[in-house]
Each structure stands twice: as C-alpha cells, then as structure tokens.
C-alpha cells in the first residue's frame, strides 16, 4: 500500500510520496521489495493517479529484480481498507498485505508466509502510540488502537497474511471518514483462528526522525560526492553532494546538496539544499517536541536538529532551534533566528 499522502512525514513528503524518499542509497519502497524478492513472484502496489504517485511507477517500473509489478489505483485516499479494494481484482485466494512505508526483513516475511492466517507483531516501548494486539496461546484475541492503559506491549506491525474473501465483507468508515484494514483484522479475530508471528525487526517509518533510526550505526556516501571534512557515525549522504569545513554526525543529507561552515547533528536534509555558516541547535535539555498535523508531538529524542525539505536554504548567521522543520524552497535569511516551522 503506497497511496497515502504521508502527512506525518512532512515537509519531506510535501510534494512527493514518502515511499520514494531515499535512505542508504535506495528508496523506502525499494528496501521493501528487496526483502520480498525470492519469496513471492508478483507484487501489487496500490497508488493514486497523482504526480507524486507516478514517481513510484517511474522509479520501480513493471519489474523489480525477479518481481512482476502490477499497479492498482485508489480513486481517493480513503484509508488502507479502501486501498485493498482497489487491488481486489488482482488477488488470488490468499494475500500478503504490507504497509509500503515500513521496513521489514526477509526472514520475518518468510515466517508470515508459513503461518496462515496471521499478523506480524512486535514488542514496543511505547504501546500507547500503536495498535496493540492481545494474544492467548498462539491466537490473537484482541486489537486496541492506541490504548491509554495498554494491557500488552505487542504492536500490530502492519503485515498481514489473510484470506482474500475477508475483504469482500462490509466494513464501516471510521470517524476520520476512512476504511481501515484493522477492521478486517478484527473480523478474523472474532472467527477465533487468527495467528501471529513475532517480528525480529520492524521499522515503522512514520516521522522524519524515523529515518535517523534506519541510519543508526551505518555510513553511506553516494556517487561523485566531494567531502572535505571528517564524518562522524551514522551518516547517509546522497549523490553529488559537497561538504566543506563542516562536522556531520548522525544525519541524512540528500543529493546535490552543498553544506559548508557548520555543524550538522541529528538532522535530515532533503535534495538540492544549501547550508552555509548556519547554527543548528540540537538540544534544549529535554526531549524535543515538534509540530505534526497541528499538534505538538514528543519525538522522544534528546538530540534533534533540523528537517529541511528539498531546495531549502540556510544562509550565514542564521540560527535554527531544535526540531524546526523547513518546507520546500524556503530561504532563511542572514541572521534570522527560527524557533518554529517555516512553511
């Protein structure tokens, strides 16, 4: 499923699907397809007829490695349950359903395919932010979305191996006006035969800072980069980027960027961005809050710098406070002090 607008990933997803965001040299969607290769023959990607979704078709094409790629079109972004309806004409009796913006590993997918019907689950530290699965023996007995008092720490990891017929039954719209896959999951729970598989690794890629978790402990430098500085740990740098007289640590920098005369930590920089002589603060003594969809969200990170979308610029002498997000093509002038998101 890759049709959603990815609002929580903004500003990085403001004018593109987050599924095409590159991390460690490949898009999020390509990382997922790599894990599916060799386990299935055909992948149906649900998208919409929009410019941003067309970028997925252009990137992936009709074949990816050994996988045949089919595109199903969701008319409107009416939720994950509606996305499955778009794919229904292409499905056989069983379907492996996955979030297109989460990262899974091959061995977990293989185990799911050997346990029908089932859902992938994973222990999480903050269950109040997830759909929480209740189990009894080897069966799933309950699902509660974002419980205020969780009775379990097993989260729904967004991978399902279901009978296709379940998607031919009726579900109602949620309060948000969408159809959700989890309502089909609840129907299978009521039948009493839904199993589960515990994930060895699952990375939900919901927010910009989720990308930093993927890069943690890794170092990737793209093609034709010119790096005239020492790079720290956990760094991902896109193709054709120039870095001069800077310190970079635990950060992601897109392609064709120019970074000079600054310290960049715990930050995510889009493509074609420029930073010269800016001060980017990363800590205020507590975990960093940032605005997402009109609400202040605790990132649970004590170190968090800036998120810059494509073609944005930080000029000399400007100061950026922790957790600030800058939308595409925005220019921060010399000497400006930025404490809130710039849209």
177 and 278 fall within a common domain? no
One domain for residues 186 and 280: no
pLDDT at 160: 96
- Look up the CATH number of the domain holding residue 248: 2.160.10.10
Do 176 and 55 belong together in one domain?
yes
**Buried b or exposed e, range 270-279, using 16+ CB within 10 angstroms:** bbbbbbbebe
How far lies 296's CA from each of 126, 129, 293, 341, in Å?
Answer: 17, 14, 8, 11
Query: pTM for this one?
Result: 0.91
Residue 15 belongs to domain spanning: 7-204
pLDDT single digits (tens) 98-128: 988 899 999 999 999 999 999 999 999 888 8
Q: Averaged in consecutive runs of 10 residues, what is the pLDDT profile of the chain (343 residues)?
A: 79 91 95 96 92 91 96 88 91 92 95 97 88 94 90 93 93 87 92 95 92 94 94 95 96 98 96 97 90 89 95 97 96 97 95
Residues 31 and 156 reside in one and the same domain: yes
Quote the pLDDT of residue 154.
94
Q: How far apart are CA 251 and CA 23, in angstroms?
A: 11
Looking at the fold, whether 180 and 244 belong to one and the same domain comes out as: no
| Within-domain flag for 243 | yes
């Amino acid at each position: 499923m890759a049709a959603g607008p990815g609002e929580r990933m903004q500003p990085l997803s403001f004018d593109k699907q987050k599924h095409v965001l590159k991390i460690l040299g490949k898009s999020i969607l390509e990382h997922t397809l790599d894990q599916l290769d060799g386990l299935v023959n055909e992948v149906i990607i649900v998208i919409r007829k929009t410019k941003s979704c067309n970028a997925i078709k252009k990137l992936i094409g009709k074949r990816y490695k050994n996988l045949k790629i089919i595109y199903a079109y969701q008319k409107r972004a009416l939720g994950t349950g509606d996305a499955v309806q778009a794919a229904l004409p292409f499905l056989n009796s069983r379907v492996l359903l996955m979030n297109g913006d989460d990262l899974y590993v091959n061995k977990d997918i293989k185990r799911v395919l050997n346990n029908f019907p089932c859902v992938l689950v994973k222990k999480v530290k903050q269950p109040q932010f997830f759909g929480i699965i209740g189990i009894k023996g080897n069966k799933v007995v309950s699902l509660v979305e974002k419980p205020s008092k969780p009775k379990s720490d097993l989260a729904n990891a967004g991978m399902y191996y279901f009978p296709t017929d379940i998607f031919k039954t009726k579900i109602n719209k949620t309060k948000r006006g969408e159809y959700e896959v989890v309502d089909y999951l609840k129907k299978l729970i009521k039948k009493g035969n839904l199993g589960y598989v515990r994930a060895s690794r699952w990375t939900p890629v919901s927010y910009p800072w989720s990308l930093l978790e993927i890069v943690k402990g890794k170092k990737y430098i793209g093609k034709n980069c010119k790096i005239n500085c020492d790079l720290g740990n956990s760094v991902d740098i896109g193709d054709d980027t120039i870095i001069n007289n800077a310190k970079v640590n635990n950060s992601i920098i897109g392609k064709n960027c120019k970074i000079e005369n600054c310290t960049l930590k715990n930050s995510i920089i889009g493509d074609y961005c420029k930073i010269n002589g800016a001060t980017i603060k990363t800590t205020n003594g507590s975990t960093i809050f940032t605005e997402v969809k009109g609400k202040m969200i605790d990132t649970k990170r004590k170190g968090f710098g800036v998120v810059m979308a494509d073609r944005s610029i930080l000029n000399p002498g400007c100061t950026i406070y922790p957790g600030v997000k800058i939308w595409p093509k925005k220019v921060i002038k010399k000497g400006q002090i930025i404490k809130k998101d710039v849209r």
